[in-house]
Structure formats: structure tokens, C-alpha cells
Homo-oligomer: A and B are copies of this chain.
Amino acid sequence: MTLFSKHQPVLNKAIEALHARTFYAAFPEHPAPAVYGETADADGQAKFKNQLGKKFEELKQTHPQSWGGQEESPYTQEALTISYPLFSSESLIANSKKAFHTWRKVSVQDRAGILMESLERVKKRFFEIAYATMHTTGQGYMMAFQASGPHAADRALEAIAAGYEELNRFPEKVMWDKPMGKFNIQLNKEWHAVPKGISLVIGCSTFPTWNSVTGIYGSLMTGNSVIVKPHPGAILPIAIFVTEIQNVLEENHLDTTICQLAVDTFDKMITKELAEHAEIKLIDYTGNSAFGSYLEALPGKTVFTEKTGVNSVIVDSVDDADKAAANLAFSVNLYSGQMCTAPQNFYIPAEGINSPAGKISFDDFAQKFVAQINGLVDNPKAGPYVLGAIQNKKTSERVMEAEKLPGNVVLKSKRIENPQFKNARTSTPVVVEIDSNKKEVFSKELFGPIALLIKTKNTDESIALAQEMAVKHGAISCAAYTTNPSIKEKIAEEMALAATPVSFNLTGSIYMNQNAAFSDFHVTGGNPAGNASFTNPEYVTKRFTWVGHREPVK
């Protein structure tokens, strides 16, 4: 049985799911022993611990220039002292250029089979990846498992499915038969989906697999060779993905440098060197806007970015103010606001919000929100696990700085204890009330657990500000609470025009931060928060070119 026929049933389901957009997941998100095995968690943790202080020798990439690695755990604030093989940009590109000509000739079906098989292998390492993710990103255990494991694998599968579908969108060959009156012109035509070349995937420090695998699998599926440049602070999780891709390539007698890991260190970053190289044709990037815009402007490249944005919450009216406040408080606390989908600007009318229990004043809603945050962060069974740790020291500093913003500090940030990791870098959310005329304060992303309660004249001003922020500065998510159908329609329309998806009236265990594969397009590509979307057709079609040849029928 070929790998393709082995995986074809799931591939077919995934393609169907792409279009149905109802719930679908190929990889179970719950780390249940019944699903993943009784010892899977302990084994994964042991494997992770065993890697600490050692060389990562699993990659099938030979002759490194040297070894290096500077990852540090936000939970222990100690170096992981894992070292990875380092290669020169030139050697990575030379390998990739050669490997490209092998990989592009592998059939679409075989590529799909190989890539899906690699996800099966990665599945066996989800727990190891979870611990690697915790100790590089600071995510809590559950998020680290889900986001870097099953959710990432589903996103990768989604990219495979989308690529597979687009590659099969047009016939390989047809006979074109044009009646000319007295005779026919007959041409044999054939179409080739020609991959663009070498693809560079640049990772971020907070979601090292989730944000990278769509680019990796999208590019590989469409026949490009890939160089994965992880963030120097979050290498191990994606190194395991690349290892498993290489293992399956090797088993299938293919060049393992079809997908390479390009580790660098903070003191000698190679991202620009790679990105600017003429042989790099595709670039996927997640990270800050300045670097993303620099990449987008590089001539002769096809670039997919997810940059920063200013996510809004529009509070107009609620069915249940406490439930709304609880949901929003969780969104701010989840991974300490270090998600690209986390809310920052909360627009609340000065006159308060309507509810079945009567008008709730601005201050009362602010207090409900603060109470919900406190309830969560002060709950030792929940707080440390929902908040996780702060990936980057600068984020902690930014949170402290937020207290000096020109507004009323409703809640100060503090450190909380993590019972498992005494030295964990933690920061609970800071909440600041800002007047809506202080636009310069809230017109930029303040990455981390920082919530700004912006007092607006009314909901119309809230909507206008949310739209303006998205159009000018980008937005990846938006939440809105309203019980008024015409206001709901207005929000839906105005935010759609700003290319921002809206989650309405979320309560309970679903949050604006969450974007599900096969259903939610992650980032729309239509505002400055990024030019690409997981996974719309464009996300894969831009990775290859349709070329048609023709010849008269003999």
C-alpha cells in the first residue's frame, strides 16, 4: 500500500471539511490517555528532559558549520542548553536548490502521502512537543499540547488538503478541438503546476509550530523545497516536526534537505540573509509588523505574513454581564494575552450598557471584568495554568509600563506563583481605563496581558474606533456583545469592511482567541495585520504557477 492510499480517506475528509466548514479535526485535541496511550505523557516529558543540555542530533542534515542554541524556559528562566546544528545560508540554499529538483518531480499523490505520514509520526510525539513548547513559549500545559500538537497538525493537514485540491483543479491533459468551419484545429494541451522554488518559513517565539506548519506543509505540498528558520527562542517544537518530515523523506529514498531546519542564534541572526537571497521565492512569516512589512516589500518574492494588530471588543448590550465579563477575562488571561487573537481595546459607552437587569454603568462593567480576572488569577488551581509564563522579558516590562498610560489604572499587574515552577516569569493582566479621545494610546499593539477599557461616547463611536484601528493598524479578531439586532448587523458589516471576523456574544468555554482549522480563516489578509489567511485558496495557489503547453494533434 502506498502512503497515499493509506492516507487518502483522511485526505478526502479534510478536503470535504475545507468546504463544509463545520466541525472537523483529524487529531484529537484532548491529551487523553485513552487516545494517546497511558504512558504517552510521562514518556514525552522524559524525552524532553533527556534532550536538555544535549545536542539535538535527530536532523538528517550533515556537515554543520557549528552547533548552537539559546533557548530558555520562561518557567525556570534557565537555558535549555540544547544545541542544534548551524549551517551557513549559502549551504542551506545550495541544498534546497538541489532538493527542489527532486521534490518537484515527486507526484502530487506521493507528496500528499509523505506529508500526511509525517503528521502521523509527529502525533506520536505530541507530548514531547508539548513540553518543548511550554519551556520555550511559556504556554500552559494544555495550550502547549493542543496548539503545538493536534491543532497545528490539523492546520498542516488543512494546508495539504487545500494544496492537493488546487493542484487537481485543472486537467493534466485535454484535446482542444476548435471548429473552424471547413476543418477543426486540434491541439493537445497539458498543464503543469510549477512550484515557485525555495520556500523560507520564519517562525515566531510564541507559537513555534501552529504558526509555521501551514507554510511548511503548504509549500511542500505544492512542490517547493523548504527552509524552516525558527525563532532562536523557540526551536525544539518545530525541530521535531522537521525531523519527522525528514524521517519519512529518507524512508522514501528522497533527499532529506527537501525540508531543512535553519537554526540561528540571537547574536547572529540569518533571517535577512536568507530572505534577501535571490533563490528564495516564497516567504512565510509570523512576527512584528516592521519586519513583516520589510519582507512584504522585498522584490520578486511571494510573501505570506501574519503581523501585529489591535484587536477590539465592542460592548454594547448583554444578556448576562457576568458571563460576558467572565468570557472576556478568560480571553485576556489565556497565555497572558500573548496570542495574536487576544483582545486589547475594550470599547464601552460612557453611559453604560443595556442588560435585561437594567443599565450597567461603565464602572460597574469594569468592576465585573476586574473581578472575573481576579477570580481567575487568584485561583491557584486555574490561574497559573491559564496564564502560563511570559515568553519575553520585554513583555513583562511592557505590562509594568502600562500602569503609566494616561488613564485610570483599574487593575494592576502582579506576579503569581506557579506551584510547579517557583521561578516562572508571570504577569497578570493590567487593566487601564482610557478616554476615547486619547487615540494615540490605543492605536498600537501592546503585546501581552494589557487590557484598555476605552470610554466611548456611544456604540457608534465604539464601532467607528474598532473599524479604524483594524483598517489602519490591523486586527485579527474582534468580539462584540450586543442584544440589538440592528447594532449587530452594523458591527458585522463595518468590521467585515475592515476584514476582521467578529465573535458575537461569546459566553462559556469558547473564546475570541480561538480559531479552528477547517472552519475559521485565521487572519483574513485584508487589513494590515497580515496579507495571508489560513487556509484560503490563495494561500496555496500563490505557491505555484500554472503553465500550459500545447501541440497540434498528429
Binds B, one of A110-118, A183-191, A360-368: A183-191
User: Which residue of chain B is the closest to A545 with respect to CB atoms?
Assistant: B526
A196 within 8 A of B: yes
With contacts A508-B185, A509-B185 taken as known, whether A537 is within 8 angstroms of B503 at the C-beta atoms is no
A174 within 8 A of B: yes
Interface residues on A, range: 35 or more
19 more A-B residue pairs beyond the given contacts A19-B171, A502-B549, A537-B541, with a C-beta to C-beta distance below 8 A: A19-B170, A20-B174, A23-B176, A23-B179, A169-B537, A185-B509, A185-B510, A189-B519, A189-B520, A500-B547, A501-B550, A503-B549, A504-B551, A507-B552, A521-B548, A524-B546, A524-B547, A533-B545, A536-B546
A20 to B169, CA, bound (A): 10
Q: Is the CB of B526 within 8 A of A547?
A: yes
Binds B, one of A136-144, A381-389, A429-437, A491-499: A491-499
CB-defined contacts of A397 to chain B, threshold 8 Å:
none
A20 to B172, CA, bound (A): 10
User: Which residue of chain B is the closest to A187 with respect to CB atoms?
Assistant: B510
Sort A-B residue pairs by CB-CB distance and give the 4 closest, nearest first. Answer: A526-B545, A504-B551, A23-B178, A496-B547
CB-defined contacts of A508 to chain B, threshold 8 Å:
185, 552
A196 to B525, CA, bound (A): 11
CB-defined contacts of A492 to chain B, threshold 8 Å:
192, 549
Residues of chain A from 238 to 296 with CB closer than 8 A to chain B in the complex: none
CB-defined contacts of A520 to chain B, threshold 8 Å:
189, 548, 550
A299 within 8 A of B: yes
A468 within 8 A of B: no
User: What 1/0 mask marks residues of chain A from 45 to 76 whose CB sits below 8 Å from any chain B CB?
Assistant: 00000000000000000000000000000000
CB-defined contacts of A521 to chain B, threshold 8 Å:
191, 546-548
A171 to B519, CA, bound (A): 10
A177 within 8 A of B: yes
A111 to B129, CA, bound (A): 49
A526 to B541, CA, bound (A): 12
A417 within 8 A of B: no
Chosen A-B contacts, 7 in total, with CB atoms closer than 8 Å, are A21-B191, A194-B499, A194-B526, A495-B549, A503-B551, A504-B550, A525-B545
CB-defined contacts of A23 to chain B, threshold 8 Å:
176-179
A175 within 8 A of B: yes
With contacts A541-B536, A547-B496 taken as known, whether A174 is within 8 angstroms of B501 at the C-beta atoms is no
User: Which residue of chain B is the closest to A491 with respect to CB atoms?
Assistant: B549
User: Which residue of chain B is the closest to A550 with respect to CB atoms?
Assistant: B503
A403 within 8 A of B: no
A519 to B180, CA, bound (A): 17
A524 to B546, CA, bound (A): 6
Query: Which among B174, B185, B297 is the interface contact of A297 at CB below 8 angstroms?
Result: B297
A506 within 8 A of B: yes
A427 within 8 A of B: no
A538 within 8 A of B: yes
CB-defined contacts of A548 to chain B, threshold 8 Å:
501, 519-521
A457 within 8 A of B: no
Q: Is the CB of A194 within 8 A of B497?
A: yes
CB distance from A525 to the nearest CB of B (A): 6
A22 within 8 A of B: yes
